[in-house]
Chains A and B, each alone.
Chain A
Amino acid sequence: MSITRRDVITQSAKLLILTPAAAAFLDYLRGETTELEPKYKIAEHYWAMTIDIDKCIGCGNCVRACASENDVPDGYFRTWVERYQIDAWPDEHPRVDSPNGGHDGFPQSKAPGAKSFFVPKLCNHCAHSPCVQVCPVGATFETQDGLVLVDKSYCLGCRYCVQACPYGCRYIDPRKQTVDKCSFCYHRISKGLTTACCETCPTSARTIGDLKNPKDPIHEFLRDNSVQVLKPHMATGAKAYYKSLDQSVR
């Protein structure tokens, strides 16, 4: 069989033109079918959370409420509370505990004289999220309104994002074998409600805020207090701002 150079060129050219033509035709047949909820305008919001360490009493309401609102499986946590106890300085090794994530509160400390406080933690919905960066398929993503969400019907369960999160806020839901984490109760805040954890916090230690809303109290909070994010050296753009965060907090 003799193939000339000309034949090769002609055949290749045909393929090069036909393939995108076929692709475009298929696209036309399928059409685009998504429609986002019209009342909540994504571009008008940018969410962040403030946490006041001076006010947290470690009651565990937030942990229980979140588990209830978001169907969180036992033993895994979308949010949790840690207790820090520092006996002496230099405090190279604070004593930290989080019994069942603080779900049932905390037993009395064995060293009542130590400096101690509670630190609630959750997904920081990082603006430069390392978890989004490493997802191989786009099953976790940053939205325009500042949230990092998970697409549970797309997630492969590879667990790379769990490894990449510096804060330990992601876990694999054993029932669905996909990743899960705090969503800032997006299903609530997009309807004008507050998050489950903020709703049930009895001391208002936790507050969700909309940075794009000029009337939101978060602006005053951030302006008038010393705030810090967890692991600032990681430059994740974390958006959970802590007031009175001690330097011992990991």
Chain B
Amino acid sequence: MQPLVHAVEGFMYPNEVELQWSILIVLYPFITGLVAGAFILASLERVFQVEEVKPTYRLALLTALAFLIVAPLPLQLHLGHPERSLEMFLTPHTSSAMAMFGFVYLWYLMAVLVVEIWLDYRKDIVLLAQSSRGPLRWVYRVMTLGSTNISARSLRLDDKTGYIITVIGIPSAFLLHGYVGFIFGSVKANPWWSTPLMPIVFLFSAIVSGIALVMLMYIATTRIRKQRLDMRCLDTISRYLFYAFLTDFSLEMLDLIHRIYEADESFKSLDFMVHTRLYFSHILLQIVLGTLLPLALLAYTQLFRPGEARRKVIYSLAGVLTLIGIFAMRWNVVIGGQLFSKSFLGYTTYKMEFATREGLLPAIALMILPFAILWGLVKLLPPWHEESVQTLGGGHGGLSR
């Protein structure tokens, strides 16, 4: 690949001109953020007894799983040698935050998310194993792990175990996404990234994005199923979204104020970058459209209590804007951190290609894929009461839940 000499303004170290981390590396924290946030929303009900959000519990878990399955893919596509990724498991370098990826991911996927979903769905799985036909029957049978025990006592045991898993799952979710923040925040060479606030900002923006996603998924799936939206649930979710967003915004403003006040050697260069090359993605997309506007919309619903129809529109709009804003935040961190020279004397440009390994096309495909997987998961493990009754009503007869 030819170095982008023509796209350089000022001076950059010769090896700095080409960006190292592409849009795929923007996608990865966005995706794991959605996972962590969706899980936190699910745990609100499970651990903190916020039973208003129960209608979204299973949906949140399945959404988290669908996105978690896709999460390693942008990383694999980005690596120079993906066939060597097993090395992260074999010889992890314990001083590197990135080395914990494999273990944290596997732990969170298997010991937290899959187990929690299994425990919550186990009764349905056993019943579906008995009632379904064809190859699907074998899928369910494998998932039962050979046990058909759905006695009241066993289900109570499942419930207790699930509670413990969720309790462990909350710090695990923090770790899953927090370590990504640490990967950036601990790089002393890069002043745009290096701040102790980075893991916390990442985490709160993850929670915000995850809640927004589940809220949008709930609205969308309820509409598709032609059911009635539980407004009490939606109002509660949006309230948590509002609080999380306020916290996230405060943290980001704290970072900004701190930078402006201290004005260290990097400040002039970074300030110039934000006002020129990052103007659209940072000021317009992330701050105005992606944070201030959804905050204002949500504040409006909190303060003025508009009618149901209006609230639905506002929540949907706020949700979409939030997701755009959080994506922009990831973009600004990852790409922004590579646009300026470490000599503080120049800038380069990010030339995103389209149909190459790290181009826009695979990025779009990777964002669509989780929804395809979620569709499959919803079919396999229906989150909704009525559908599971319909599936079982035929062969098995009566089911009490």
Contacts and interface: CB of A to CB of B under 8 A. Distances in A.
A and B touch in the complex (CB under 8 A): yes
Interface of A: 75-77, 80, 82, 93-98, 100-101, 121, 130, 133-139, 154-160, 162-172, 174, 176-178, 234, 250
Contact of A160 (B2, B14, B98, B342): B98
Contact of A250 (B3, B93, B183, B344): B344
Contact of A168 (B3, B16, B92, B183): B16
Contact of B345 (A96, A155, A171, A176): A96
Contacts of B190: 163
Contacts of A82: 11
B188 A130 contact: yes
Interface of B: 1-3, 11-16, 18, 20-21, 78-82, 84-85, 87-88, 90-93, 95-99, 101, 183, 186-190, 337-338, 341-345
A156 B189 contact: no
Contacts of A137: 84, 87-88, 90-93, 99
A68 B249 CA distance: 52
Nearest to A179: B80
Contacts of A96: 11, 343, 345
Interface of A is mostly: loop
B345 A94 contact: yes
A133 B79 contact: no
6 contacts: A77-B14, A96-B345, A130-B189, A166-B188, A170-B15, A178-B80
A80 B183 CA distance: 29
Contacts of B12: 168
Given A157-B79, A234-B188, A136 B20 contact: no
Contacts of B2: 75
Contacts, number: 125
A32 to B, nearest CB: 16
Contacts of B188: 130, 166, 234
Interface centre among B12, B92, B97, B189 (most CB of A within 10 A): B189
A171 B344 contact: no
B93 A166 contact: no
A136 B80 contact: no
B96 to A, nearest CB: 5
Nearest to B337: A163
B85 A163 contact: no
A118 B199 CA distance: 40
A131 B77 CA distance: 22
Given A168-B342, A177-B80, A101 B14 contact: yes
Given A130-B189, A137-B88, A234-B188, A157 B97 contact: no
A165 B188 CA distance: 9
Contacts of A75: 2-3
B86 to A, nearest CB: 10
Contacts of A121: 13
A163 B21 contact: yes
Contacts of B13: 80, 98, 121, 167-169
A136 B96 contact: yes
Contacts of A133: 95-96
A250 B16 contact: no
A12 B15 CA distance: 54
A165 B189 contact: yes
Given A136-B99, A156-B85, A157-B80, A168 B15 contact: yes
B11 A158 contact: no
B15 A169 contact: yes
Contact of B87 (A94, A156, A162, A178): A156
A171 B343 contact: no
Contacts of B79: 156-158
A155 B81 contact: yes
A188 B96 CA distance: 31
B84 A154 contact: yes
Nearest to B2: A75
Considering residues A96, A98, A154, which has the most beta carbons from chain B within 10 angstroms of its beta carbon? Answer: A96
A133 B187 CA distance: 10
B80 A172 contact: yes
Contacts of A156: 79-82, 84-85, 87-88
